[in-house]
Structure 1
Amino acid sequence: MVLAVSLMIALLALPSLAQEYVNIGTGPTGGTYYPVGSGIAKIWSDNVPDLKATAQASGGTRNNIQLMEAGDAEVIFADGLYYDAYNGLASYNGQPKKFMRALVPLYPEAVHIVVLKGSGIKSIQDLKGKKVSVGAVGGSVSLTAETLFKHAGLDPKKDMKLEYLGHAESVNAFMDKNIDAAVTVGAIGIASVVEPMTLGIVELIDVSNDLVEKMIKTTPYFAKMTIP
């Protein structure tokens, strides 16, 4: 069993205006957000009169919210961090981002815990003392990872060495055996998980049911999911 978090599209809360250009904040090119966003941009551009939509690669949800706040994106992809941002919770404490509006849910994302084969890592607690990739600094993946570790009784700053690597960088680090594990949030079948698994160098570990239930109670945008 693993955790799941929903991916959605949010848009800027503005009066309806005629607009020729729409910038869509997505995610890194090696993830799933960017290709999905590029497809949506093409559909909109091809079917909405006088509209040109463009998908912009970004650092993910947190970066997308910053882009929207700065006026550099009218539409963004966002995961559960949207909930915290809109309500002014967690890292957004006291600074609610009320300029956003949810548009439509897209698909559930799985929180993958990927570990080197032969590392002896069988549970979250076994990550103590290991090198763990958690995505970009301050990004939604790193925040999800740190929240998960804390709920498992680990101090992410003291009990392990965090490596802030992107999707492609994590794959390369696994191949070079420079990391022991990685937390990846994305659609089932995301390349950064499938590629090293196909090479036979990594495997997935479960998140215990008790830990999943604990996460759901304190963080309402999480849910249970089973990866086939």
Structure 2
Amino acid sequence: MLIFSAQQVRKNLFLLALSIMLLFSFKTIASERTLLFSGGPDGGTFQYFSAGISEYLSKELDGYKVLNEASAGSVENLRRLNKRESDFGITYSGDLYLGRNGRLSNNARQYRNVHAVAYLYGAPAHLVVLDDKRINSVSDLVGKKVAVGAVGSGAAASAKRFFESMGVWGKIEPQFLGYSEGAVSLGDGLIDALWVFAGYPNSAVIQAASANRIKLLQTYTEAQKNGKLFEDFPFYSKVVIPADTYPGVDYDVVTIQDSALWTASSRLPGDVVEKAVKLIYQSEGLDHLVSVKSTAKAMSIDSGLTGIVTPVHKGAQNFWKSKGKTLTEVQIR
């Protein structure tokens, strides 16, 4: 008969307990599924939101680890989600709408496997001019130089849509400059107007307003009266940039905006999406996102479906309906 010393017994019990703990740990790791969340360029707003949502869901969504991935931005996220190279992403409503209908620039593919989940924040148009009497409306820009954003940027694409709808794209001189360069050029008299398509307050507009007396044109009012923008591009909506957001601009600016949306692969199970949205829209989830990026203050139950003109993921539909939200026919298609 084998006789073990007390020390050997304790050692064997310790090894047994350790083996059981490791076994359960391996089972937990093995059963934990990884979800990929596609954000944007490092330092950009998309990436802040993607990282914030991923971090919170990794802690709170049982059985899942959510990894944040950098990307080139909205259109790349659309492509990744459509191929299911990512599970979640951030996409502009405009790109989602145009991609679904095969109308992306130089790309006739229809991206049908990407669904909206929720509104994150708005990207309003700022049409900045110097505060003199020369330019008071879009029509006054005919023959003038307008900085519209870098070549291939979302800002440049939105500028072309806006000015084409107003019938003046072929009558202005677009200058493909980044925001900061455009702000300097406006002050130096090298351009006549600066187009910025980004959340407010925007640093380039602050830069222009700090060095010069500026004014912002009312793009929504003009588009509604004179153009076909909302007919051709229904993802644009009305937004007000409050008075005193920028130095010297002491009036409300009624402008247009696109919406940055939380999106998901249509093949992601509905129960996973519903749980994820529920976690983010509880007070702790929203507080976490605001701590990551103050722009998240725009997120609420009331604003949750803002700017969405494409189908909403089934899981997200269940969540929004449970909150008393009425979805449009397009959103439930």
Q: Do both proteins adopt the same fold according to a TM-score greater than 0.5, normalized to the shorter chain?
A: yes
Q: Any conservation in 2 of the 1:111–1:185 contact (CA below 8 Å)? A: yes
Identical-residue share of aligned pairs (%): 25
What is the CA-CA distance between 1:183 and the residue it aligns to?
1.8
Work out which of the residue numbers 159, 166, 170 in structure 1 matches 2:178: 166
Larger radius of gyration: 2
Q: Is it true that 1:53 corresponds to 2:49 in the alignment? A: no
How do residues 172-211 of structure 1 correspond to structure 2 at under 5 angstroms? 172-207=184-219, 209=221, 211=223
Q: Is it true that 1:109 corresponds to 2:134 in the alignment? A: no
Q: Any conservation in 2 of the 1:171–1:195 contact (CA below 8 Å)? A: yes
Alignment: residue pair count:
208
Q: CA RMSD in A?
A: 3.2
Partner Cα separation in structure 2 for residue 52 and residue 136 of structure 1: 32
Partner of 2:95: 81
How do residues 204-223 of structure 1 correspond to structure 2 at under 5 angstroms? 204-207=216-219, 209=221, 211-212=223-224, 214-223=228-237
The change in CA–CA distance for 1:205 and 1:75 in structure 2 (over 3 A counts) is: same
Q: Any conservation in 2 of the 1:61–1:139 contact (CA below 8 Å)? A: no
Q: Is it true that 1:132 corresponds to 2:130 in the alignment? A: no
Q: Is it true that 1:35 corresponds to 2:48 in the alignment? A: yes
Output the amino acid matched with 1:164.
F
Output the amino acid matched with 2:90.
F
Partner of 1:9: none
Partner Cα separation in structure 2 for residue 215 and residue 171 of structure 1: 26
Q: Any conservation in 2 of the 1:64–1:76 contact (CA below 8 Å)? A: yes
Partner Cα separation in structure 1 for residue 186 and residue 71 of structure 2: 24
Moved more, 41-50 or 140-149: 41-50
Query: Structure with the greater relative contact order (CA < 8 A, sep ≥ 6): 1 or 2?
Result: 1
Unpaired segments ≥5 residues, structure 1? 1-16
Partner Cα separation in structure 1 for residue 39 and residue 75 of structure 2: 10
Q: Any conservation in 1 of the 2:125–2:219 contact (CA below 8 Å)? A: no
The change in CA–CA distance for 1:217 and 1:119 in structure 2 (over 3 A counts) is: same
The change in CA–CA distance for 1:180 and 1:107 in structure 2 (over 3 A counts) is: same
What is the CA-CA distance between 1:162 and the residue it aligns to?
1.8
Partner Cα separation in structure 1 for residue 151 and residue 234 of structure 2: 23
> Higher strand share goes to which structure?
1
What is the CA-CA distance between 1:198 and the residue it aligns to?
3.5
Partner Cα separation in structure 1 for residue 213 and residue 232 of structure 2: 34
Secondary structure, aligned partner of 1:51: strand
What is the CA-CA distance between 1:109 and the residue it aligns to?
2.7
**What is the TM-score when the length of structure 1 is the normalising length?**
0.72
